[in-house]
Chains A and B, each alone.
Chain A
Amino acid sequence: MSSLQATVNGQEASLSGVSAHTTMLDWLRDQGLTGAKEGCAEGECGACAVLVARPDADGGTTWTSINACLIPAACVDGQEVVTSEGLSATGRLHPVQEEMATRGGSQCGYCTPGFVCSMAAEFYRSDRCPAGSPPACGGHEGDAEHGPNGFDIHALSGNLCRCTGYRPIRDAAYAVGQASEDDPMAKRRSAPAPAAAATRFSGPDGDFVRPADLAEALTVLGERPDATLVAGSTDWGVDVNIKGVRSPLVVAIDRLSELRTFELPTGPLDTPQAGTQYIELGAALTLSEIERRLAGRVPLLEQLFPQFASRLIRNGATIGGNLGTSSPIGDMPPVLLALNAVLVLASARGEREVPLVDYFTGYRQSVRAADELIKAVRIPTPLAPITAFHKIAKRRFDDISSVAVGYAVDVQDGVVSRAAIGLGGIAATPIRARETESALIGRPWTAATVQHAANVLGGEGTPMDDHRASARYRTAMLEQSLLKLHAENPSLQEV
């Protein structure tokens, strides 16, 4: 193992001694940086949150908050990390720390360093605009989920506090000002983020490779069928920590530029253009990056993002990773099924396109071969005008779906001309609601059609009873979902 190291709070810190499965959190705590805590080890509580310097779309740096409990320590080789201790390195409290301390934002204090890091990331968000900023800023400030300082409360959706009841934390978040001119972390944003360092070592519990490029990654995959791909590690980290899974070879692919493409068709997205047009999203783009870069241009995805996990998770989780799990309860598949998305699979043997609807073959199984990875997701345009994402979960922020439904519907002259419905949580794989679609297409978009189709939808899939929901609730939610879509998009005659 050569000289793996990272910069933590401005100081060089050696990664020697970490194994392929050592988490960044354990490594930090072993360094004596015990500010970040383990509250759950599965990305739910945010007590472990820290900041990493990640590239933004314009060549600068975004201070990005992530769950240190989920990512392998080896992933930060060559990277810059800031912890709660580092925010006050000058001996003075950081503005977010100051607000948290004086407003009663901490009681037992165990969640606090994590909150402080999530808050600092939002503090440094370059497009956070206080009230009165030009409209280009997005105009969220001061609404139900933004402070007058432009602070998006969703930035804290991945942090749990059992003591305070959150009100003082929200007040602290909404009270922080703008970063001062000489704030070193603010200044750091205009310089590029550290490049991903190609990393390779063998440890006691497996090997770790961060390939330099896609070709190397595909070669490794071709040679080592036992390899595990890791992107944001928000799923993999849970397997490691909670299920005790270990892999003989971990291959980190989240920073491969070939997997980070972002392309839009030239014309508008909602009207037909000549030739086949699609939006391409590289598999290793994080959900936060996609959210920021699409900026609302795909309304169905825009509805999904705030309901997908938390900001902390979305900062790490990739779109490829969401499909890579082939989980029946992933939120991306129902939406991408409704959008008729196509996957680009790559291996050393070449590339192929697979429509998502043909991708899943069984419970956590897909057509992807062992030597293949998902390179990109393509969403054909034009997009349907009526779209909705209905996620049924116990908690409004940051929860796993018990049922998820994605809709892409078009109604022409009062008649349903197009309907694609993706379902999650009610079968061994994400599925298309084919029978429901048939019950809608070519019929008038009326209460009668919808009630009938809703009954059909209630019969799709094979919902189960579990701790998230009863089977009959899942069934009822399918039915209600279509009624809701109709109630929110009534036909012109009925308005």
Chain B
Amino acid sequence: MSQLSERPEKPAVGVKVPHESADLHVTGAALYTDDLVSRFPQLLHAYPVQAEHAHARVTSLRTEPALKVPGVVRVLTADDVPGVNDSGIHHDEPLFPTEVMYYGHAVCWVLGDTLEAARLGAKAVEVDYESLPSVVTIPDAIATDSYQGEQPTVARGDAAAGLARSTHVFSGTFESSGQEHFYIETQASIAQVDESGQVFIHSSTQHPTETQEVAAHVLGRSSSEVTVQCLRMGGGFGGKESQANGYAAIAALGATLTGRPVRVRLNRNQDITMTGKRPDFHSVWEAGFDDDGHLLALRVTMTVDGGWSLDLCQPVLSRALCHVDNAYWIPDIEVHGRIAKTNRTSHTAFRGFGGPQGMLVTENILGEVAPLLGLTGEEIRHRNFYQPGQLTPFGQPVRQIERLEKIWTQVLDEGRYVARRLEVEAFNRAHPHTKRGLAATPVKFGISFNLTAFNQAGALVLVYKDGSVLVNHGGTEMGQGLHTKMLQVAATALGLPLSSVRLAPTRTDKVPNTSATSASTGADLNGGAVKNACEQIRERLATVASGVLGVPPNDVRFVDGQVHGLGSSHEPLQWADLVKTAYFHRVQLSAAGYYRTEGLHWDNARFQGEPFKYFAYGAALAEVEVDGFTGAYRTRRVDIVHDAGDSMSPLVDLGQIEGGFVQGAGWLTLEDQRWDASNGPTRGRLTTQAASTYKLPSFSEMPEEFNVTMFANATEEGAVYGSKAVGEPPLMLAICVREALRNAAGAFGAEGATVHLGAPATAEAVFWALDTARAQAAPDKASVGAPTSAVPQPVMASNR
């Protein structure tokens, strides 16, 4: 076992503990950025002036009327920016734009003594616009060649030849819809200039370092003059990886200009209309199969909606290209990617980061063609699983693929797949108006940032003379349980009970130059750094203890707050006593830890390399029930087997698996983002911009029976204490829900017919799918409202 993955005696990792802040959460005592408002006397509230144009030039901006509103203190405009007027890192996102790039774009911000004053002030600002032509959908962008950024291709073999060789060739167009993060805590920051002149920003951000950098460049100051702290977030999911930066910069700008603390907190409508989302994807595909259902060749052109600026869409697209294959060996493959530039919010990271959108393309193909090849969805999938020794299209060996085979077998067994298929068939025969569907899908997901440089982390561990321990690390807590895991890592590495270790909020003046807490890497990277810091301290203490215990330092063991020597007859030392002794021996009791993931390389130009430290695997089996009158459905049961390595924190990981699954199911079924694509005055407006119109999963979407098993004996040699990252991969397990819905809809029609289903598979989409199936089987049963073309229809050709 590797030094990194090995667990000592009685480790605190692997123990089922609640979230470290659980008691604070349930009592309402846990503080989030905006809960601090009453601690800042003289605080000013900021309110944006949002343009009601998809694309327009600002021809004049009159702020005087706002300044006449009682309580309005200042209006922030581009003229106020001492540094760079840009909220991003690609310099394509003016913080105060002169060209409105999307409906809802903030052109300036009003500061008021009260939020109400700022709101009324924002209403009073007068802006003239000259409307410009806009691009609001991916097909619009394709038609007008509106792209931005790189256009990578991943390829292996010869896709054209592979297609030519295939006995069955199918083609189609597939669109998957975007997703609103809907973290329950909206974007929030409070900035203040402190007594030393330092700009101090409380921000709900997944990337404090970048928030610091953006605020610094807007202010025209150095990073050393700006500190960012993130107490905790009320959810992030990728939506605060880059998107928090601009709002923090507004607060910082306001604070430096007025000398008063400034709060920027978006209300829900502002948050939804201004921040980027999981992007829509549009894919044109051709796939070739042999008679046995082997996927021989795949050619896809994938267009992601970047929105008005690049933001994170290049890496999102990379990850999509790296996950088109999901768990399947595709000998001849060619996938082109490009980023549409549209007049929409600037799309961004969202749990899975393009991976879900990429693998959904292939999963959708398999779901559509399985009946045409006379196979079940499970058969066609299993037949195409990678075999040991095979490489991904980008050239990385698919290590541990044998795990997937075991996981698949286990989930089908535990879910009684064979028996339940018969039960479902019997049920469907007996119920003309209600049908059930059963489907399983696998997940293979690569862990590490595609960009190698991001795979590093720092930590600062402080041991005080009384033996107490304070851990700082560069990762942020957004509910994923990172802090809980880091406490477990520190306690394990120092051989202390969990209760003796405390953790401080994430701050850029404790740990600098951090990577975003994202890509599921938070625990791997920061855990490595915390472990490293703790081990430095432990080694120093071991030297001190070795003198007392009379054993070599290597034979000193730290277990549960006691320090003893192997084979030493000396009484074990108490941790706190040893610390005190060490202090008097002038031994340093703090350490900066550092970790970089070894063995990664990536050639972005060739789109080849080994960008991932390892793959996380999982599989899920879902059963749904669909009402034939409405298309409404329920998820009756879900079984999951997931590979979290040797789980670092089982309760936390279970929460990630279940929560990720339900969030994925939301994306694929319920969450229906709508943009106004008409040519009317509200063109480009998001019509689902509130909780009342954009529906998240609620209790009614929770699987009625939900069985989650962690894959056993799953040590990951390449990660801290043998665990695997678990933040994102489970989201994609939910693809089985959509496939089960497809099967249920198909059960209303004749056997062996393909079923086209929208993504998201809303009740309406399911209704049209089943109505079409029903009508194909019995044309007189077509419903009055039957669509002419609900979903783009794939075309099938046979080379025979």
Which residues of A455-495 have CB atoms within 8 Å of chain B's CB atoms?
A: 455, 458, 466-477, 479-481, 483-484, 487
Which residues of A390-413 have CB atoms within 8 Å of chain B's CB atoms?
A: 390, 392, 394-400
Which residues of B210-239 have CB atoms within 8 Å of chain A's CB atoms?
A: 232-237
Chain A residues with CB under 8 A of B21 = 106, 109
Residue pair B687, A467 in contact (C-beta under 8 Å):
yes
Instruction: Give the shortest distance, in Å, between B671 (CB) and chain A (any CB).
Output: 9
Asked whether A32 and B38 contact (CB < 8 A) given A39-B691, A107-B655, A110-B235, the answer is: yes
12 residue pairs bridging A and B, Cβ less than 8 Å apart: A41-B268, A42-B268, A104-B18, A157-B699, A164-B655, A170-B702, A238-B692, A395-B700, A399-B695, A466-B687, A467-B672, A467-B693
Q: Is B464 an interface position by the 8 A CB rule?
A: no
Residue pair A34, B35 in contact (C-beta under 8 Å):
yes
Per the bound structure, the CA–CA distance linking A469 and B569 in Å amounts to: 77
Residue pair A397, B655 in contact (C-beta under 8 Å):
no
Residue pair B783, A480 in contact (C-beta under 8 Å):
yes
Instruction: Give the shortest distance, in Å, between B789 (CB) and chain A (any CB).
Output: 12
Q: Is B414 an interface position by the 8 A CB rule?
A: no
Q: Is A369 an interface position by the 8 A CB rule?
A: no
Instruction: Give the shortest distance, in Å, between B695 (CB) and chain A (any CB).
Output: 4
Q: Is B787 an interface position by the 8 A CB rule?
A: yes
Asked whether A107 and B767 contact (CB < 8 A) given A144-B704, A397-B698, the answer is: no
Chain A residues with CB under 8 A of B28 = 33-36, 83-85, 112-113, 116
Segment from A94-102, A292-300, A352-360 that makes contact with B: A94-102
Q: Is B30 an interface position by the 8 A CB rule?
A: yes
Q: Is A281 an interface position by the 8 A CB rule?
A: no
- Of B268, B654, B771, chain A has the most CB atoms within 10 Å of the CB of B268
Residue pair B184, A157 in contact (C-beta under 8 Å):
no
Q: Is B31 an interface position by the 8 A CB rule?
A: yes
Chain B residues with CB under 8 A of A105 = 22, 26
Q: Which 8 A-B pairs rank lowest in CB-CB distance, beginning with the nearest? A: A35-B28, A108-B479, A110-B234, A109-B25, A476-B785, A165-B662, A44-B691, A84-B28
Residue pair A42, B184 in contact (C-beta under 8 Å):
no
Per the bound structure, the CA–CA distance linking A340 and B703 in Å amounts to: 39
Asked whether A396 and B632 contact (CB < 8 A) given A83-B28, A85-B29, the answer is: yes
Chain B residues with CB under 8 A of A458 = 784-785
- Of B181, B234, B478, chain A has the most CB atoms within 10 Å of the CB of B234
Q: Is A349 an interface position by the 8 A CB rule?
A: no
Instruction: Give the shortest distance, in Å, between B234 (CB) and chain A (any CB).
Output: 3
Q: Is A167 an interface position by the 8 A CB rule?
A: yes
Q: Is A93 an interface position by the 8 A CB rule?
A: yes
Asked whether A40 and B632 contact (CB < 8 A) given A108-B183, A162-B183, the answer is: no
Instruction: Give the shortest distance, in Å, between A154 (CB) and chain B (any CB).
Output: 8
Chain B residues with CB under 8 A of A471 = 785
Q: Is B690 an interface position by the 8 A CB rule?
A: yes
Residue pair A106, B25 in contact (C-beta under 8 Å):
yes
Instruction: Give the shortest distance, in Å, between A455 (CB) and chain B (any CB).
Output: 6
Residue pair A109, B232 in contact (C-beta under 8 Å):
yes
Q: Is B23 an interface position by the 8 A CB rule?
A: yes
Chain B residues with CB under 8 A of A98 = 26
Per the bound structure, the CA–CA distance linking A166 and B706 in Å amounts to: 11
Residue pair B691, A394 in contact (C-beta under 8 Å):
no
Contact residues of A with B, CB < 8 Å? 29-30, 32-42, 44-45, 47, 83-85, 87-88, 93, 96-98, 100-113, 116, 144, 153, 156-157, 159-168, 170, 205, 238, 241-242, 244, 390, 392, 394-400, 455, 458, 466-477, 479-481, 483-484, 487
Residue pair B695, A162 in contact (C-beta under 8 Å):
no
- CB contact between A108 and one of B184, B699, B763, B783 (< 8 Å): that residue: B184
Residue pair A104, B785 in contact (C-beta under 8 Å):
no
Residue pair B26, A93 in contact (C-beta under 8 Å):
yes
Instruction: Give the shortest distance, in Å, between B132 (CB) and chain A (any CB).
Output: 25
Number of interface residues of B (CB under 8 A): 85
Chain A residues with CB under 8 A of B433 = 484, 487
Q: Is B696 an interface position by the 8 A CB rule?
A: yes
Asked whether A164 and B659 contact (CB < 8 A) given A102-B22, A104-B651, A108-B232, the answer is: yes
- CB contact between B658 and one of A40, A47, A167, A481 (< 8 Å): that residue: A167
Contact residues of B with A, CB < 8 Å? 18-19, 21-32, 35, 37-38, 116, 119, 123, 181-186, 232-237, 267-269, 433, 478-481, 629-630, 632, 634, 651-652, 654-655, 658-663, 670, 672, 674, 687-688, 690-693, 695-704, 706, 762-764, 767-768, 771, 783-787
Per the bound structure, the CA–CA distance linking A31 and B674 in Å amounts to: 38
Per the bound structure, the CA–CA distance linking A348 and B674 in Å amounts to: 47
Asked whether A30 and B38 contact (CB < 8 A) given A110-B235, A473-B764, A473-B785, the answer is: yes
The residue of chain B having its C-beta at the shortest distance from the C-beta of A111 within the complex is B184
Per the bound structure, the CA–CA distance linking A279 and B375 in Å amounts to: 59
Per the bound structure, the CA–CA distance linking A51 and B697 in Å amounts to: 24
- CB contact between A480 and one of B630, B693, B701 (< 8 Å): that residue: B630
The residue of chain A having its C-beta at the shortest distance from the C-beta of B185 within the complex is A110
Instruction: Give the shortest distance, in Å, between B512 (CB) and chain A (any CB).
Output: 25
The residue of chain B having its C-beta at the shortest distance from the C-beta of A396 within the complex is B700
Asked whether A397 and B184 contact (CB < 8 A) given A36-B28, A104-B655, A168-B655, the answer is: no
Chain A residues with CB under 8 A of B183 = 108, 110, 162
Residue pair A87, B19 in contact (C-beta under 8 Å):
no
Residue pair A162, B182 in contact (C-beta under 8 Å):
yes
Instruction: Give the shortest distance, in Å, between B433 (CB) and chain A (any CB).
Output: 6
Please name 10 further chain A to chain B contacts, defined as beta carbons within 8 Å, in addition to the given A96-B26, A165-B655, sorted by A numbering: A40-B691, A93-B23, A97-B26, A106-B25, A106-B26, A109-B19, A112-B28, A113-B27, A166-B702, A479-B784
Residue pair B19, A469 in contact (C-beta under 8 Å):
no
The residue of chain B having its C-beta at the shortest distance from the C-beta of A169 within the complex is B699
Instruction: Give the shortest distance, in Å, between B491 (CB) and chain A (any CB).
Output: 19
Residue pair A113, B699 in contact (C-beta under 8 Å):
no
Instruction: Give the shortest distance, in Å, between A203 (CB) and chain B (any CB).
Output: 11
The residue of chain A having its C-beta at the shortest distance from the C-beta of B19 within the complex is A106
Per the bound structure, the CA–CA distance linking A64 and B233 in Å amounts to: 29
The residue of chain B having its C-beta at the shortest distance from the C-beta of A39 within the complex is B184
